[in-house]
Amino acid sequence: MFNNTKKKHLEKRYLNIIKKPLPKHIGIILDGNGRWAKKRGLPRIMGHAAGIKRIEAIIPEVKRLGVEVLTLFVFSTENWDRPDEEVNFLMNEAEKIYTRMLSRVKELGYNVRIIGEVPKEKHELATKIKELNELGNNEESFTLCIAFNYGSRPELIQATKNIGKMIKDGLLDVEDINEQLIDDNLYTKGLPPVDLMIRTSGEMRISNFLLWQISYAELYFPKIYWPDFDCSALYEAIENYQKRNRRFGKIGEEDA
């Protein structure tokens, strides 16, 4: 009975949310897996296992709202410095997930895109990522973008190199460098800018995540750890976003 009431309440919130303008692109820095586990006296990898379950549960919820893109920051270029056991666990899980996705890529009901540096020393993983990026574009209305071995600065360096090369080869004039060109040379090419950036666990940092793409994003820092980020927490983030007054550097209507 209690569960039923809770479900009805969530459905009411869902219906209210979809009536209002939604963020087209949500970016999430998943944080707090380790602390979630520690609080329960469990090893850190158990926190990651719980975090992966959360990822799987939240994808269909975001898709159902009609959001176009969800980018999840699951592994940063700096995360390699964690203990071997933890890195190995995360790499093995990533490979399992990518393999599972590939085996039914056409039935997923969404596009998959993996952005970041290709982990060169991990051949199997690199191959899976390449295949997913080739086969994952199914022209669906929802895109799941996974930031894996990702860092915004390496991404910007790579874009700068591409542009520099075009100029050197005589294909581009320096004066023609504009925002669109930079957009087109990022891993996120073709995706809309981030409207809502969420970081769980109470940390208020960007940590090298989509620096260019979050220029006008609304930032939201819920205190809960990622493995606790359920449908209600997702709705709370969007309800909060829908109350914000986005001005993009202009003045608000009420101030005119």
226 or 229, CB closer to ligand IPE?
A: 226
Specify whether the CB–CB gap between 148 and 114 falls below 8 A.
Answer: yes
Tell me which stretch binds Mg ion (CB under 5 A): 31-39, 88-96, 104-112, 116-124: 31-39
Task: Please state, in angstroms and as integers, the Cα–Cα distance from residue 45 to each residue in 54, 56, 80, 228, following that order.
Answer: 14, 17, 15, 16
Does 218 participate in binding Mg ion (rule CB under 5 A)? Answer: no
Annotated catalytic residue 79: yes
36 or 98, CB closer to Mg ion?
A: 36
> Which listed residue (79, 133, 137, 138) is catalytic?
79
Q: Which does 79 bind (CB under 5 to 8 A by kind): Mg ion, ligand IPE, none?
A: ligand IPE
45 or 196, CB closer to ligand IPE?
A: 45
- Tally Cβ neighbours within 10 Å of residue 78: 10
Task: Please state, in angstroms and as integers, the Cα–Cα distance from residue 11 to each residue in 5, 17, 66, 69, 241, following that order.
Answer: 10, 10, 15, 22, 18
In the complex, the residues that contact ligand IPE under the rule CB under 6 A are 30-35, 51, 74-75, 79, 90, 201, 226
The residue within the footprint of Mg ion, chosen from 31, 155, 195, 218 (CB under 5 A), is 31
Specify whether the CB–CB gap between 211 and 156 falls below 8 A.
Answer: yes
d(CA 226, CA 50): 9
> Which listed residue (4, 16, 31, 176) is catalytic?
31
CB of 31 to Mg ion, least distance (A): 4
CB of 79 to ligand IPE, least distance (A): 6
Q: For 114, left (φ over 0), alpha (ψ -120 to 50), or beta?
A: beta
Q: Which residues are catalytic?
A: 31, 79
Residues engaged in binding Mg ion (CB under 5 A) = 31
